[in-house]
Amino acid sequence: MPIDRLRLSLAAVRSRWRSLERDWRSVAVGAAIVTATVALDLQIPW
């Protein structure tokens, strides 16, 4: 039925949006760590 396909499509879009949102949060956290490291001139012991 068409309504079932619409529901499946909406579920797929929501799932994809959540995964993208998670990815962007990870990027934002990484950028904040790099910015703080550079701004505070922190030495990272490798």
Residue 40 has phi, psi (to 5 degrees) of: -95, 0
Positive or negative: CA dihedral 29, 30, 34, 40: positive
Predicted confidence (pLDDT) per residue in 5-15, tens digit: 888 888 888 88
Question: pTM higher than 0.85, yes or no?
Answer: no
- Answer yes or no: are the C-beta atoms of 37 and 44 closer than 8 Å: yes
Residue 8 has phi, psi (to 5 degrees) of: -65, -40
Q: Across residues 19-45, what is the average pLDDT? A: 87
How far is residue 25's CA from residue 23's CA, in Å, rounded to a whole number? Answer: 5
